[in-house]
Amino acid sequence: MVMMIGRRGALATGAALAAGVRPAFSFERDGNRKILVFAGGQPVPVLDPHVRYDWSTRMIQQSVYDALAKYVGDPPRIEPWLAERWETNADQTVWTFHLVRNARFHNGDPVDAEAVRYSFERGLRLNKGVAWMLKDVLDPGAIAAVDERTVRFTLTRPMPAFLTYIPMWFIVNPRQVNANVANNDYGEGWLTMNAAGSGPFRLRRFDPQSVIHMDAVPEYWKGWPMGDQRRLSGVIYRIVREPAARRALIGRGEADAITEVPADDFDQLRGMRGMRPEDHRGMTTFAITMNTTKGPTADLNVRKAVAHAMDYDALIQIHNGAATLMTSPFPEAIPGHVAVPDMPRRNLDRAREFLRQSRFPQGGFELEYVHVQGLEDPRRIGLVLLNSLQPLNVRVNIVAQPWPTMVARGARAETAPDMVSVYVTPVTTDPDVIAGKYHTRAHGQFWGMHHLTDQQINTWVDAARVETDEGRRNALYADIQRRVVELQPEVFGMLANRRWIMRDYVRGFQYCPLRLTGEVDLYPMWVDAA
């Protein structure tokens, strides 16, 4: 086992800390190579790439696993990875991928067509995590390893969005997984805390609540973009739940990069010597979702009144200016986005007029606003909502609940709150992933807690998801956006910037707003310091 010590050696570091002197660098050293220390607030309870995904989980998953293709850049684009090329037929029901020749799993096994076939079959049969993306169009038996380097997917209907989901499906080593199957679980128990991948890093230590340590794979089949001499020895991801504690870590020189940085902390840290801020426009939308089926918010005019009473400028102020208001239900970076002309903005005269047309012309009712317990920004937005609705004689009861409780309540129209704070991050660049939020199929999911039912939207969404002509498809999505705004199932809020603080010697950070395939890609990062 390699001992990790500070850059000046264990004795020097110990003496410096004892004397209260901040170390010059926070990275750890392994011989002549560095170990990057990254601190974030989210644990990684499940490592299995087919079972769970969120930003922190994906950051680790995409470090130890590879996919057929990968999202890179801003705006995001799809680049070949394990697949060197692909093609589809005219109606986009058959997709064929041709694999690179040199990819290897960490144990030396080749990444071949059977491994790809098995990985997709496994994800579909587990029916968790990523399965929802493809299970309606892809049967497990319709994936064929044509030869050692060719995989063919035969879909049950045209799916123009198929390729955009491919980066979300990581490839596991069937031999390793099958060796650890228990009770026909497809190795799920074992892959919860172990890995069977081909990515640039291999797992050394996995403590889902405190620390994850990964070693770089010297012989990684893709090579290292910074060159072998400058690549990291590894990465340590520290789970530090409190933002103040993360701020203190990087301030003391005990972390090289931190994420989930509150606006005030970000503004404070960005001006400190030796710090480098990363501030990028995000794709995660924030909305106040309203129950369209019961209570006062079942009345469209009430929903319109709420939307026109909201103080949208305050949403920007909460983020110290690092946010942009939504101009449509779709993020602007999603293809097919159109700016809807009548997007609500604060106008109390219009709000009062809508209220007069409702079942509650004088107000006099209370709305429950639910947000995730422990999240500060949604709580503050609740206070903005409370103040915004006072001129309408509408009261707001702000309720904090654990995420599972909030989602369970919202799964049924009968129990869904009047209003609930919802962040939605697109998993692909295809507009269907956002339009689908407003289809009745979304009922029961956290992004469908509005329980909106509109046959016109359903018809357009169903037509758009199989339409292979881009012009006709975009026209349908434009209609969907305008119709959703017309029905106002949400107060369409803002897109907050994605922000990190890094030490100025950290190099290679590449932002991609779609990285639920991770946002933070550890593969190109390195440390430029002696």
- For 376, phi then psi, to 5°, come to -75, -45
Structure token pair of residue 169: 């499906």
Rounded to whole angstroms, the Cα distance separating 369 from 140 reads 42
As annotated, the residues of the chain forming the CATH 3.10.105.10 domain(s) are 285-496
66-192: in CATH 3.40.50.720: no
Q: Cβ(65)–Cβ(197) under 8 Å? A: yes
Dump pLDDT digits (tens) for 268-300. Answer: 999 999 999 999 988 889 999 999 999 999 999
Residue 394, pLDDT score:
98
Task: Taking residues 459-466, report their average pLDDT.
Answer: 96
Q: What is the C-alpha end-to-end distance of the chain, expressed in Å?
A: 24
| SS3 assignment, position 420 | strand
Q: Give the class (CATH, top level) of 1-65+199-280+498-530.
A: alpha beta
Residue 316 pLDDT more than 90? yes
Rounded to whole angstroms, the Cα distance separating 335 from 337 reads 6
Residue 11 pLDDT more than 80? no
Average pLDDT, the chain: 91
Any idea which fold 285-496 has?
Dipeptide-binding Protein; domain 3 (3.10.105)
As annotated, the residues of the chain forming the CATH 3.90.76.10 domain(s) are 66-192
Task: Taking residues 149-160, report their average pLDDT.
Answer: 96
Residue 521 pLDDT more than 80? yes
Band the pLDDT of 16: cuts 50, 70, 90. Answer: very low
Dump pLDDT digits (tens) for 83-103. Answer: 999 999 999 999 999 999 999
Residue 19, pLDDT score:
31
Cβ count within 10 A of residue 516: 22
Rounded to whole angstroms, the Cα distance separating 260 from 246 reads 9
Residue 64, pLDDT score:
97
Q: Please identify which residue in the block is written with the tokens 């986005």.
A: 337
Least confident of 115-124, 192-201, 241-250: 241-250
Task: Taking residues 384-396, report their average pLDDT.
Answer: 98
As annotated, the residues of the chain forming the CATH 3.40.190.10 domain(s) are 1-65+199-280+498-530
Dump pLDDT digits (tens) for 318-338. Answer: 999 999 999 999 999 899 999
Task: Taking residues 132-160, report their average pLDDT.
Answer: 96
Secondary structure of 101-164 as H, E, C letters: CCCECCCCCECCHHHHHHHHHHHHHHCCHHHHHCCCCCCHHHEEEEECCEEEEECCCCCCCHHH
Residue 515 pLDDT more than 80? no
Instruction: Give the residue from 142, 208, 203 showing the smallest Cα distance to 172.
Output: 203
Residue 10 pLDDT more than 90? no
Residue 2, pLDDT score:
27
pTM: 0.87
Question: Checking DSSP bridges between strand 28-30 and strand 33-40, what pairing results, if any?
Answer: antiparallel
Q: Cβ(260)–Cβ(497) under 8 Å? A: no
Band the pLDDT of 489: cuts 50, 70, 90. Answer: very high
